[in-house]
Amino acid sequence: MMRRDQLLGDRYRLVRLVGEGGMGQVWEAQDKTLGRPVAVKMISPLAGGGSRGNQARARFLREARLTARLQHPHIVTIHDLGETDAASDAEGGADPCKVPYLVMELIRGEGLNAILHRGPVALSDAARWGAQMCDALAAAHETGILHRDIKPSNILLTRSDAVKILDFGVARAADTGATADRLTRTGFLVGTPAYMAPEQARGFPEPRSDLYGLGCLLFEMITGRLPFQAPDALGQLSAHLVEQPPAPSSVAGHIPTAWDQLVLTLLQKEPERRHPDAAHLAGALRQLARPSESTVPATKVDTGPFRRTVCGPDTPGVRPGEYLVATTGPWNVDTSGNVRLWDPATGRPVGQPLTGHSAVVYDLKFSFDGTLLVTGSGDSSVRLWDTATGKPLFPPLTGHVHAVVGVAVSPDGRLLASGGRDSTVRLWDTTTGMPVGKPLNGHTDTVVRAAFSPDGRLLATTCRDRTVRLWNPVRGKQIGRPLTGHTADSEGVAFSPDSRLLATTGRDWTVRLWDTATRKPFGRPLRGHTDTVWTMAFSPDGRLLATTSEDGTVRLWDPATGRLLDQPLTAPTGGCVTLVNCSDGRLLAARTDQQGTTQLSDLVSGQLFGEPLATGIGTPVWAACTPRTALPIPAR
């Protein structure tokens, strides 16, 4: 097809053949203009005659255009696209034809398929590499692109031990129509059967189909074999559709339960029962990467700098029935949507789990007086619960067409706000369960979090479009222009107690403060975290701001000066630390260890808040707390 020293486009000189398959070749080449090595990929003129050849060419060009849209450190970078003359010797002739070629970064490293040929990898490597794959997939999915062929031969490990995802040849833009689908269905297998999600096998891929493929890959990485054993492609597809996968630990006995739970969640037949998205899965994998190689269980929660002086009914502080805590199930294990209520003074559950959602709960908030609990779920609904009875007050509040990610309750408890993946914000009357006004439009991506100001005059929302918006909740109108400054998705949002300051966080690792009167930045961004900053809360007097991050720390700041205070609170080994949304303004943190025990701590006093809660292995998505002195505690 091509030969050494051949010049493409008067610029790229072919140096050596790197790989060859039925569909084409990959060459190492030298870019004469920039004086750098590159990789050149081209399809073979023999990839099929007639319409099949046209489809191969169209598929190749589509890969180039899709991949060029993706700029991410863990996705191969596209430099150029061109065509060259080649000769086909089909039927003894020598007919010239145009062959498209793709110029990419040249990656020095080793394919994951070659690594796995030598056997399974260390759990720490699997977690680290898997998280990087998730980062890449999250970027692709955010752009509306599905990969559809996650497998070892499409993963390259660089010499610096970084992941690069290759070959978007069967990728599909999520918003494309039938033409793109025909390109991958007519004459080409859409993906690889051994790693194919059930819905993809049926012709209906979605972002979580890529997560299923990654689940198969992770299973293979830690056990040395695929989850389903079948002699041919048809048998593999059938197994994905109807058979239940084994736990990885049943294949390799050294694998911890947390890995079993993560992988088996990824291999659920129904997409909605898997992890909600690649970004969440990346967080779960990074938490698995934190434990040491030892699997010896801990005997108690590592309390770090906190003193155990508040721990039960016979000590000062929290008393039985005084506070109520709500936690979601560990989202990377329990996707059922159940919520559990606890009495922190005893560490015991209160009543039965709150059941009704059919997918993971992304956010939950108490009303200020503690009588109501609001939950938002991946099942596209909002639910309103009576905390005294544990019963829903109304049927599910429906209107969002995709997952509900953030919820908030007004200070007077009469209004509820919800936002989600349909880019809208909706308001609801908590006394009737009915919508209030029309949806609030303006955001262009997932609405992540919402918060009412303490004076009830403002509603703030954050979004993956990197903006923060202020709304008048009474009029249902946006106030002024969006607040911009975050250089990546904006995440958490909180008002100061006097409603004068708004704090927002983001995936750019910063915390930003805004003057709510002028809607201008207040001081400089707060920097100190080394990963995504998820949530934050002000102390009741407004003199402290607490933030929590994917870096495994909770930090305290002086919002007036932007100064970082004291040492950060860190997660226990192999666990995580999050902030608790407390309706009375108390600053609480929740530290969950790798055995699934969660300890609440008061960030201001430095004391533990009640007894440990057996929330389960994994990370509670969110926890909320409220004073509730009159709450009856049913017998277990």
DSSP state of 122: P
The residue among 359, 398, 358, 353 whose CA lies nearest residue 373 is 353
CA distance 350 to 610: 14
> Do 457 and 472 touch, CB atoms closer than 8 A?
yes
Helix (H/G/I), strand (E/B), else coil: 285: helix
Element (H, E) at 387: none
Who contacts 294 (Cβ-Cβ below 8 Å, separation ≥6)? none
Who contacts 53 (Cβ-Cβ below 8 Å, separation ≥6)? 45, 47
The alpha carbon of 591 is separated from its chain's Cα centroid by a whole number of angstroms, namely 20
CA distance 237 to 268: 15
Give 161: exposed, middle or buried? Use CB within 10 Å, 0-12, 13-18, 19+.
exposed
Q: Which two tokens stand for residue 451?
A: 């918060």
CA distance 165 to 157: 9
Who contacts 464 (Cβ-Cβ below 8 Å, separation ≥6)? 142, 445, 446, 448, 489, 490
CA distance 20 to 27: 9
- The answer to whether the annotation marks 41 as part of a ligand binding site is yes
The residue among 590, 490, 595, 505 whose CA lies nearest residue 261 is 595
Q: Which of 149, 277, 343, 379 is catalytic?
A: 149
Active site residue 149: yes
List strand residue ranges (DSSP E) for 445-544, in order. 447-452, 459-463, 468-472, 477-478, 490-495, 501-506, 511-515, 520-521, 533-538
Element (H, E) at 569: strand 563-570
State the binding site for ATP: 41
Active-site positions? 149
